[in-house]
Each structure stands twice: as structure tokens, then as C-alpha cells.
Chains A and B, each alone.
Chain A
Amino acid sequence: MQPRGDTLNATIRKALESHGNGAVTVLSSLLTLEDALGYIPPEAIEEVAHLTHTTVNDVWGVASFYPNFRFEPPCEHVVEVCWGPTCHLMGAPAVMKEVLATLGLNTEGDTPDKRVTLKFNTCLGACAQGPVMSLDHHLVGRLTPQEAGKRLSGVVGMKGNRSLQ
């Protein structure tokens, strides 16, 4: 369950208070909040503007620049498929095709049932293991399309908040 209202504001404030001493910037604040909440809610933009003595428009300028930030709560699970050059050569296109088919998506995004968020990533930093995908921030390497499909297929019909691994 995503926090809302006062709980959300408290979470935002707590996250901002605890992050870095000295070098507080718009970007560092946004990163902290993305880590704490998984997304940047409108309230967070106001808090960051307040904290960094800028305006909400400035914060939005930074936030919208980076594709890492999302502005809606993420789904229960986050799947990232690498299609950097190495993974591409090692067979990422086939993996990607299988993942999209399994999740019933045409491109990166959220599944309609809000269970899985799919993101394309240009490098997950494990080129030697390629092709790679990450399931809720845990890397799975040397994938075959079958393996990728198997890992995901359970999730699609799954109920409840079970780990993907």
C-alpha cells in the first residue's frame, strides 16, 4: 500500500531530513525520494522546492529531465530489461520479445493490472552476464527467452505481494 495524505508528507519529510549533510541539491533530494517512495509525488516537488530554495518549476525541470524518476506510484514489481550493446549482442532482443509477450505489453510501461512495471535499461552494469534483466532490483544473468518467460509467467497470474525471485 502506498502512503497517502499526512503519512505521505511525513515520509517525504523524513526522507529529506535524513539525506546528505552539506551537499543538498534538487537532484540529491529527488533521488532520495525516489529511493524512499519509488516515485516523486506532487507533494514531494513542493517539499524539495522549499528545502532547496527554488520554485516548483525549477524542481520539475530537473525531475522531468531524468527518465529514472517516475511521477506515479510504481507497480508491485519492477522488471528492467537491459538492451545495452553487450546484452543486445548476447540476445537481448529475443528476451525482450518474450518479456513483452508474457506481460502483454507493447513497450515499456505498467501492466493494466498494476502488477508489473517494465523498464528498458541501457546498462545494468553486468555486461559479462548478458543478457541481463533485473527483477525487483535483483539481477538475473545469462538469460534465455525461455528462462525470462518462466521467471515472469508466475507473476502475471500471481496474487498477493510475492517476490519475483
Chain B
Amino acid sequence: MTTDNRVNIVVDGKEVKARPGSVVLEAAIEAGVYVPYLCYHPGMKPYAACRMCMVQEEVDVEVERDGQKVKEKQLRPASASCTMPVREGLTVRTATDVVRDLQKGIMEMLISEHPHGCLTCHRIELCGPQDVCLRHVSVNDRCVFCPKNERCELKDSVRFLGMEMLSPLSYKTRGLEVEVADPFYDRDYNLCIVCGRCVRVCEEVRADNAITFVDKAGKALVGTVRGASLLESGCEFCGACLDVCPVGALVEREHKWDKATRVSRSVCPHCSVGCQLNLEVNRREKVVRAIPELHAPANHGQACFKGKFGLEFVNHKERLKRPLIRRNGQLQDASWEEALAFLAQQLPKYQGGQFAAIASARTNNEGAYLLQKFARAVMGSNNVDVDSNTRPALARALEAPLGYAASTNSIWELESARCILVVDANITEEHNVVGVPIKRATRRGAQLIVIDSREVELTRYAALWLRPRPGTTLILLAGLLRAILDQGLEDKEFIREKAQGLEELRVSLGDFPLAKVAEVTGVPAERISEAAHTFATAETGAIAYALDNATLEEQAAQVHALANLALATGNLGRPSTGLYALRRGANEQGAVDVGATPDLLPGYQRVSDDVARQAVENRWGIKLPTEAGLGLTQVLRAAREGRVKAMLLLGDSYNYANGEMDEGYEALERLGFLVVCDSFLGAAAQRAHVVLPAATFAEEEGTYTNLERRVQLSSRALAPRGMEARPVWQVVCQLAQGMDARGFGFSSPAQVFEEIASVSPIYAGVSHQRLIREMAFTLRPDPKNPLPTQLAHSDRVSRGLQWPCLGTDSSGMAVLYGSGFPSGKARLMPVSVPASSLRVSPAYPLLFAPGRVLAQHDRDVSVERIGGVNHIQREERVEVHPADAAALGLKAGDMVEVVWASGRIRGAVEVREGQHQGVVSMTTLFGEMATRLQASEDPDPMAKAPLLAVRAVKLEKAT
């Protein structure tokens, strides 16, 4: 921002430049002048509830003195600075006697309902953070009995004001039961000061409104509808309310009493959004909390249930401690030297195409790069992939029509889009934080169109929800394209200047008259037309998709159809438009970028391209295989068929068990030699011949590339303690060096990245040093003063770099194709519908579309406390078409079981006219899953959160 348009104000005699449109409190915070506040929080609208941030404006007044008019400075009555807009020349005083008296008076009122022995205890200066002193204050008031001890803004504010607490007011104990039966959170409203930050963050920032103010005046508190459990109120357990709470009222249950001794900035390993998290580490080297970074570009201070509550695996006692070697059928402890020597002896037997290497979704760029280099240069095999890449066409199929195999725009641009099309994506659960700007956009009047056979949370925010028959999404997209072209809604100028292939597209759409599309998909023609009109006429339209319901065969065609939609409506190359390929793995984008994919060398250079390959060969000093290798699904098939005999896996994957690639483990069992480098002895490691203990994301430094192409540095938060786990980059280097390979003599991840940048043009301008150097100071608040946790952690923030970043002078690219397409013109791809494998069989004659939402208030639901834990009690409904119900002899209310090959679920029949014939659907509640995830014994339950897979089923009458 240029300084020209800044407003000059004076705060306590200090000249301050303020952003126009900001308020005095924000200007003061940014200028490093501390004004006490409790209800204000960056990122939310000023609320002026707590009245702590009082200031007095200083004005010049003309007064008559001795018959002469003289100018005099006068102070106006105090008012809240969080609602006082800045204006040129404004002069305020923040620490006058009037202000301080008011603040102390307000604080006395606040603490009249808050335990405050801890605030005034005479030992405050004597006790250290780790002392446990139990004798000086009554039981309810002890500092050590508050989970926010040492990080409470209320206490800090009292100390700042220098209050002696001589008020005769004793505090009123509310005597409320602490809410501990819901998953993940403990809520103690006895400590609540009703600042409203939690209610506002839930409403303003997350657009969820799962909590509200209840009652009024002396009884006002935070709560839910009729005191309902969070399981019923529509809570998505994102933890945003915990992050903003200034006192001990809302806290994470896990490590509730643990104090952090240091904080480190890492990138969340759970999905491809790339949330920056501040990991709080305690003195026992445990990650005790994750606080999302307020100024991070991809998450803007937000996280989700996975990032907030799913990092406990780092501390888990079942972590792999030492390498294991299978001897006489048993995995036995070994030293690293033994394991590496054994591998150096065994692996050379499996040179060439019989070897495959699979990176984990959490392998960082450095690890993935070295892995593919190892596979190619040492093992001579191009069989490399990422274990989350079950939808290989997801981003890759954008390459043919547009040029780059990646999302075109940045996540938070969605907030300003006027129309958003979400196709077959369960964003709230799989890419939670992407849902935040989408929901916020709908609050700002954007039209959300959801295309999904399943009922997912975003359908609740949608202006239009098109619910095609499962397996017909592609035909519906063809119908949308046809409707746009038939109505002449295409962006003719954009197409003329920037795209080719319109005629071929038009011809291919000849097979999709709207009436036919409506018949096949079961979506009425007028709804298709309406959606086409809404999307095509919006000033900015963005598309987010995940291919959740597409079969392998139709994935590429579906991506092409979506690219056509963006191209035909001119929604590319501008902010708040474009295509968002919602990749599954945290670093799936990065791993592919650095070459962990069968047919591409680092930087999307074809293996078969002689010039590019030779450049890499020269750099690596070794000849490389020229044939494209096998991708993830093909590798598993080849393993089953005995063509791939040895594999190196970095990490296990739920995809081998959740229906994405069902026979994964069976395939691994067929291998002659399996090496697994993982943090746990999971299902894959148990089948391995050699197991190597890997460091987790929190224990290694490296870069992640998120779904918006942003390369972000994740720093090392802690060292593995009591185990010999090593970071992946080091493991691969040692493995290669053990086999006498050259080119693996790296001493740090930063050095590995230098090589990545040198062989991969799109990363050429990126380096660890640059990412660190270009970290920006966000605010410079004095750490001595009371601060919201998120602000206290946010000192310097890296915005990362979005590739292509071709040189050190390039600042990366937030929006692709702003200055045209790499090959001159984009290509509209003709639509063809491949034979889908989503088929029913005589054994399983129906298609099942499972849904999951946060709340369904129109349905009866109750919550029962079993063993101190809330459980949702609800009869699920299986929605059946009348004809199917008749054929099966079912009537409304009959109890049935939906049965598929590997599972079953029970519910009562609801006969519904709107249902597609041959399809059954059921919508369950997120709260139920949250309860199960909380109770899970698995070391890493969040990585195994069940997906909503459309599949063939049969109905059985329940007995």
C-alpha cells in the first residue's frame, strides 16, 4: 500500500499514519500504542461491547479569557476507540485520568462475575510459570485452576491498569456446570466475560452461527438454542471460538492444563489448503496446541477440526522408535546402520520398472523431490506417485485446455466472487477453510450453485442445489454448457481473443439437448437453465471441484467440461474467477510439481521430452529412463499382478482402506520387497520387510505447496524425543548414499530446495532463504502488553510464493493466465462421455448417495450423555423412490439396512417423490462423526475421517 492515502492522526502526541476507513484502536495497535481492549479482535468488526478501549479526543476550543479570545486544548468525553473512525488531524489521548478511571470501573464490573483471586494474589511477582502454589488464594480463585493461567487477557489487562482491587465487590459465582461432554472443547461459562468474540467469530468470520448470546442483562451469557449440545447446534468444531476467547471459558480439552514454552510456525499436514499453524510446544517437547496464524495468506487465522484437534499423532506413544527388519517372518528392532546396509544389499535386486516409490500426502517438497530422484536416478524407475493422488486427472487435466496443471486463483479471492460453482466436493469436511470464504461470499450476496448427488453442508448456503442422479455429473455439466451456448450467454469477446475450439465444442454438445440431459440427470431443464444463466451472467464466477463422485474413467472429461465452463464465460485470468482443483493431500500439488509423478520430471517437464530430460540428466549426472512410469492405481494393479515387485512407501494411506483403492493392502502383500518409512506401525508397515521410523511434519523443516500453488515453509517445531525417527529427506539421502549413488550429499532441506529450483523452472525464484527473508512484520505489538493469543503469535508472517516464480525478481503469480495463456490460446475441449464404471450389479442394484451436514433442525434429534460423552440419538432416514419402495415391498417407516460390500448402515424408509429411481440417499450429522473421531483410539484419526463415497448397495429389511 502506498502511504499517500493514509490518514494522519495523533495518538498520545505520537504521529500515526492510519489506513483510511480504519478505527482509532486499529491505528493505535498498528502504531504500537497500547489501548486496553477485550471485545475487539483483529479480523472482526468493532463491537464496542466491553468499553475498555476508551480514549479522549483533544480539540481546540476558543474561549474568552480576560476579554480576549484565545485558543485552548480541551478533552472531549471519553468514547470507545474501536468505533471511532480515523480522520485527518484527529488527536486522541489514551491514558488520561478520566480514561483510566473509566477502565478501572469497567474492569471492576467485569470481574464482579469472574474469579479474581488470581488477579491480585500477592505472589504474582514471585511465582514462576511452572510453580504450583495452592495456599494464598481460595480454591475457586487459584491461578493454577484456570486453563488460561499465564495467557489470560483479563489478568493482563488488570495488571496493565495497575488495579489494586480494593473494591468491596465480592464476585458472584455463577455456579454453572462445566460443559465437557461435547467433542474437543471444554466450555466453562463461569469464566466467561461475555465479550462476544466467540459469537462474532462464529457468525461474522465462519458464517456458521452455531452459538449465540442468550438471555439478557445480568444473566446474559453465550449459549445455543435452548441449551442444545454443540452436536446439534450446527458447530463444525473449527475451534475459531477457542482461538479468540480472552479468558479460560473456551479451551481445547487435550492439553488443557499444559503451558507452552515456545511457539513454532508450521503448515498443517491434513489437507491441501495449507493453513499456517502456530504450534505451541511445552517443556516436555509435546505439541500442546495449534493456533491458526492470523495473517497467513491461505487461512486468515482460521483452521478446522482436523488442524485444531488432529495433531496429537505427533505426541503419540505408539510412534515408531527404531528401524525394524523382518527376520524369520517377524519385524525385529534394528539400528539405522543395519537397516540401511540391509536395504543397500536388497534394493539393487529390483532395478527398473519392477520398483515403485510412493510419497505420502504429507511428504514435503524436499522429501518428494529426493524420492523421485532416488527412484529415477538410482533405481531407474519412473514409477513414482503420491498416495493421495487417487484422482490423477483432478488438476492434471487442466493442462491440456489451459496450460498449467494447477488451480488458477487464490483461495481467499472466493470471498469476492459473485457466483461460485461447487461441484462434487465435500468442502466443509475435506477442505474446510476453503468453505469459509465461500460462506462469507454468500453472506455478501454471491450466488452459490452446488452440484452434488450428496447432501453436503454447503447445500445449505446454496442459491441453487442441482442434485443429479449419481454418475451423471458430467452430463449435467454438458447440459450447463449447452444451455449457456444456446442462450448466447458465452463471453464472445473472451473466446474470440483467447480461446479456440468453440465450433468443435458446439458440435460435441449436439448430443446433449437440454431435455435429454434433464431426463438422464433427473435435474429439471429449467433448473439447469437457471444455473447456466446465473453462472454465465455473474460478473465474476469461480469453480471449485473435487471429483468426489466421478469414476476414474470420467475424471478427465469432467475437468475438461469445467474448464470449458470457465473459458466459455470468460471466467479466467481475473481475480475471483477461475478453477479450484481441490487436491486431497496436503502436499500433493508440491509432490507433483517436483516430479513425484510417473511421466513428469520436476517442473512439469515430460520424461519423454529429450531436451528437458537431458538437462536434468546433466544436472543429476546420470542417464534416466525415458518411458513414462506407472501412477498410483496402476502401480497397485501391477503389484497385484506381480509386475511391480518392490516398493518404497513414505507413509501409510487411508486410501488403501476407504474405498478409494480398495485392494491396496492386498497388493502390498504380493510384493517381494516392501520398505515403509512411516511414523507408525500402520497397516502398510506391518506388511513391510523393512520399516524406517519417520519424523512427522512438526519435526522436520521443509516446504509445502498448497492447492493455490503457494510454496510455504514449515519450520521444525520440535525434535523427536526418545526415538530415532529421521526426516524423510535425510532417510532418502542416506538410502541413496548407502547404495553408492552420487548427488545425494545434501546437508539441509534448504540445500535440497536449491536443487529443486535449479531443475524446475516454475520454482526457479523460490528458496528457503527467500521465504524467510521476505517474511513481513504484521504488527509490532509490545509483548509486555495484554494481547489476544493469535496476535501474540503473529509477529512475522511469510506469504509464501505462488508459482510460476521464474526468477528471484518474480513475486509469483496469484492469478494464472492474467496476461494470456502459455500456448497463446486456451482450448475448449469437446465433450465426450466415457463409459462410467459406477454401475449397479444384481447383488447391489441401487446407488447410494450418503450425505453429511452440520445440523438438520427440521428433524427430531436428541442428545444422550453416555459415560460423560454426548451422543446424538436420531433415527436416520433412507430416502427411497416410490417405485423402488413398491418393488421392495417397503413402506414409510420400515427399518432397513443399506448394505454394500464392506459396510452397512441402518435407517427408516422415507418414500420420497423427488428421489431418483434406483437411488437411495441418507444424510447423517457431522456431530456424530465428531464424537467418533474424538473417541477414536487410532493414533491419527483425522487422517481417517470417513469420506462420503457414492457406491452400489442393496436394501435389506432390518429385523
Q: How many residues of A contact B (CB 8 A)?
A: 17
Cα A59 to Cα B209 in complex, Å, equals 10
Whether the Cβ atoms of B215 and A55 lie closer than 8 Å is no
- State the Cβ distance, B459 to closest chain A Cβ, in Å: 15
Residue among A46, A54, A64, A66 with most chain B CB within 10 A = A64
Cα A49 to Cα B208 in complex, Å, equals 13
List A20-63 residues whose CB lies under 8 Å from chain B. Answer: 42, 45-46, 49-50, 54-61
List B247-261 residues whose CB lies under 8 Å from chain A. Answer: none
Complex partner residue of B209 from A54, A64, A71, CB under 8 angstroms: A54
Whether the Cβ atoms of B857 and A60 lie closer than 8 Å is no
Residues of B within 8 A of A49 (CB): 857
Whether the Cβ atoms of A60 and B212 lie closer than 8 Å is yes
Scoring B residues 215 to 256 as 1 if CB is less than 8 Å from chain A, else 0, what string do you get? 110000001111000000110000000000000000000000
Give 6 closest A-B pairs by Cβ, nearest first.
A61-B212, A60-B225, A55-B209, A57-B212, A56-B225, A64-B214
B213 within 8 A of A: yes
- State the Cβ distance, A43 to closest chain B Cβ, in Å: 9
Whether the Cβ atoms of B214 and A60 lie closer than 8 Å is yes
B210 within 8 A of A: yes
Residues of B within 8 A of A71 (CB): 226
B211 within 8 A of A: yes
Please name the residue on chain B nearest to A61 by beta carbon: B212
Residues of A within 8 A of B858 (CB): 46, 50
Q: List 26 interface pairs A-B (beta carbons < 8 Å), by A numbering.
A: A42-B226, A45-B225, A46-B858, A49-B857, A54-B209, A55-B208, A55-B210, A55-B857, A56-B225, A56-B233, A56-B855, A57-B209, A57-B212, A57-B224, A57-B234, A58-B203, A58-B212, A60-B214, A60-B223, A60-B224, A60-B225, A64-B215, A64-B216, A65-B213, A65-B215, A65-B216
Cα A89 to Cα B419 in complex, Å, equals 63
Residue among B209, B213, B225 with most chain A CB within 10 A = B225
Whether the Cβ atoms of A60 and B226 lie closer than 8 Å is yes
Scoring B residues 841 to 856 as 1 if CB is less than 8 Å from chain A, else 0, what string do you get? 0000000000000010
Cα A71 to Cα B227 in complex, Å, equals 13
Residues of A within 8 A of B225 (CB): 45, 56-57, 59-60
Complex partner residue of A55 from B214, B216, B223, B234, CB under 8 angstroms: B234
Cα A60 to Cα B210 in complex, Å, equals 11
User: Contact size class for B?
Assistant: 10 to 19
Residue among A42, A45, A54, A61 with most chain B CB within 10 A = A61
Residues of A within 8 A of B208 (CB): 55
User: Besides A56-B225, A57-B225, 17 other CB < 8 A contacts?
Assistant: A42-B226, A45-B226, A49-B857, A55-B234, A55-B855, A55-B857, A56-B234, A56-B857, A57-B209, A57-B212, A57-B233, A58-B203, A58-B212, A60-B214, A60-B226, A65-B216, A71-B226
Whether the Cβ atoms of A46 and B857 lie closer than 8 Å is yes
- State the Cβ distance, A44 to closest chain B Cβ, in Å: 12
Residue among B203, B234, B857, B858 with most chain A CB within 10 A = B857
List A52-86 residues whose CB lies under 8 Å from chain B. Answer: 54-61, 64-66, 71
Cα A90 to Cα B259 in complex, Å, equals 61
Cα A46 to Cα B226 in complex, Å, equals 12
In the complex with contacts A54-B209, A55-B209, A55-B234, A61-B226 CB distance below 8 A: no
Scoring B residues 196 to 211 as 1 if CB is less than 8 Å from chain A, else 0, what string do you get? 0000000100001111
Please name the residue on chain B nearest to A67 by beta carbon: B216
In the complex with contacts A64-B215, A65-B215, A58-B226 CB distance below 8 A: no
Residues of A within 8 A of B857 (CB): 46, 49, 55-56
Whether the Cβ atoms of A57 and B211 lie closer than 8 Å is yes
List B485-500 residues whose CB lies under 8 Å from chain A. Answer: none
- State the Cβ distance, B442 to closest chain A Cβ, in Å: 10
Residues of B within 8 A of A45 (CB): 225-226
Residues of A within 8 A of B211 (CB): 57
Cα A13 to Cα B226 in complex, Å, equals 21
Please name the residue on chain A nearest to B215 by beta carbon: A64
Cα A148 to Cα B226 in complex, Å, equals 36
Residues of A within 8 A of B223 (CB): 60
Cα A133 to Cα B632 in complex, Å, equals 80
- State the Cβ distance, B402 to closest chain A Cβ, in Å: 37
Residues of B within 8 A of A46 (CB): 857-858
- State the Cβ distance, A62 to closest chain B Cβ, in Å: 9
Residues of A within 8 A of B234 (CB): 55-57
Whether the Cβ atoms of B210 and A61 lie closer than 8 Å is no
Please name the residue on chain B nearest to A45 by beta carbon: B225
Residues of A within 8 A of B215 (CB): 64-65
Whether the Cβ atoms of B210 and A57 lie closer than 8 Å is yes
Residue among A45, A59, A60, A71 with most chain B CB within 10 A = A60
In the complex with contacts A42-B226, A45-B225, A46-B857, A58-B214 CB distance below 8 A: no
Residues of A within 8 A of B233 (CB): 56-57
Residues of A within 8 A of B226 (CB): 42, 45, 60, 71
Cα A59 to Cα B233 in complex, Å, equals 12
Complex partner residue of B213 from A54, A59, A61, CB under 8 angstroms: A61
Please name the residue on chain A nearest to B202 by beta carbon: A57
Residues of B within 8 A of A57 (CB): 209-212, 224-225, 233-234
Please name the residue on chain B nearest to A71 by beta carbon: B226
Cα A154 to Cα B46 in complex, Å, equals 56
Residues of B within 8 A of A55 (CB): 208-210, 234, 855, 857
List B827-869 residues whose CB lies under 8 Å from chain A. Answer: 855, 857-858
- State the Cβ distance, A59 to closest chain B Cβ, in Å: 7
Cα A102 to Cα B233 in complex, Å, equals 42
- State the Cβ distance, A132 to closest chain B Cβ, in Å: 24
Residues of B within 8 A of A42 (CB): 226
